Amino acid sequence: MTKHKNHHTALHEKDGISRPESVSVTSIANITQLRKKQPTADELVKGILEHNKTALSRAITLVESTNPTHLEKAMAVINQCLPYANKSVRIGITGVPGVGKSTFIEAFGKHLTSLGRKVAVLAVDPSSSMSHGSILGDKTRMEELVKDENAYIRPSASGDTLGGVARKTREAIILCEACGFDTIIIETVGVGQSETAVHSMVDFFLLLKIAGAGDELQGIKRGIMEMADLIVINKADGDNIKKAKLAKTEFNRALHLFPAKSSGWQPKVSTCSAITHDGIADVWQVVNEYFEMVKDNHYFDAKRADQNRYWLTETINEQLKSSFYAREDITPLLEQYKKAVQNNELSPFAAAQFLLEKYFEK
């Protein structure tokens, strides 16, 4: 920061007539004051532990910052918050666009705050940097929940890889928990790779669907159905009720064909209407049953410890990869070898050997 302070040089300016200031002195004073106002790590932690949402938002912004100087401060805040975190239920909610995710989360969230719970809604959407946020980009989507003093809504971190977004969301969870939120909802779109990431940061995974003409199931990534602890068929209202009930029977039958979960939990299917609020309370009841069971059989703690270890190695692996794939001498070579491998001119293994030798030789 004081890089140029004590540099030695033979060049000196003679004292002469002082130049007029090119910027207003008052402006500088203001900026300096503003800078001073940036809270310290300790101040942020204090604010968070006092359940101050402004402090929480600032801390999350710090965690999301790509400015490397913010990294250390962010890590300090998180590590100080850690002892106060982890006392919540973390629920992942996914579903393709059109199933009514935000209406559902609004109705579900409002139900929870009406029961006295404090609800934080975060999102994982790595596409948001390009698409300007396909989910939660606009807080107005959950108008009522956003006004609720016992709710906190935060759009997805953006401008980053899935690994980056996932890391930031995981740390935002810790901050929200330290800030007194006892129910964390992580929203994601059911079309990309993000579900696996979300699955490994939540305790309970809810898949939102609608009943329809068969194709309502298209577009969701394979493997997601098998991750679900609960499938909720939304829009079960009006003419749709019958269809929704039918879909429920079908999904129930399908879920029984799946392998047993290591939690010991048999995945369930519910119907609800986020508009009429029918079935919303039932969804929460199922979630509660799950948590009772996994806290009883200690799966809850075991899974969280697992997840922590997973994210340690995941972060290491991600960064090992990015240090390789970002290296300027590697990138053009990799493209060349990819083509050769694709055209069966070279075995993938031989190509990898060449590239790794190059990488480690420096």
**Helix axes of 53-64 and 41-49: crossing angle, nearest 10 degrees:** 130
Binding string, residues 72-111; x marks residues near its own copies by CB under 8 A:
---x--xx--xx-xx-------------------------
45 in contact with its own copies (CB under 8 A)? no
Chain mean position to CA 189? 11
Sheet holding 151-153, edge to edge: 151-153, 119-124, 183-189, 89-95, 204-210, 230-234, 268-271
Neighbours of 89 (CB within 10 A): 19
Binding string, residues 202-231; x marks residues near its own copies by CB under 8 A:
------------x--xxxxxxx-xxx----
Count of positions on this chain that bind its own copies (CB under 8 A): 64
Stretch that binds its own copies, among 6-14, 18-26, 30-38, 309-317 (CB under 8 A): 309-317
Per the DSSP assignment, residues forming a β-bridge with 120 are 152, 184
178 in contact with its own copies (CB under 8 A)? no
90 vs 121: CA distance, rounded Å: 10
246 in contact with its own copies (CB under 8 A)? no
Whose Cβ is closer to its own copies: residue 74's or residue 280's? 74
335 in contact with its own copies (CB under 8 A)? no
Alpha helices in the chain (DSSP H): 25-37, 41-49, 53-64, 68-81, 101-114, 128-131, 143-147, 162-178, 194-199, 224-227, 240-257, 280-296, 299-325, 330-342, 348-361
Residue 76 CB, shortest distance to its own copies, in Å, is 9
Residue 88 CB, shortest distance to its own copies, in Å, is 13
Residue 39 CB, shortest distance to its own copies, in Å, is 20
What phi, psi does 253 have (nearest 5°)? -65, -45
Residue 221 CB, shortest distance to its own copies, in Å, is 7
Per the DSSP assignment, residues forming a β-bridge with 354 are none
Residue 146 CB, shortest distance to its own copies, in Å, is 28
Q: Which of 29, 115, 281, 305: binder of its own copies (CB under 8 A)?
A: 305
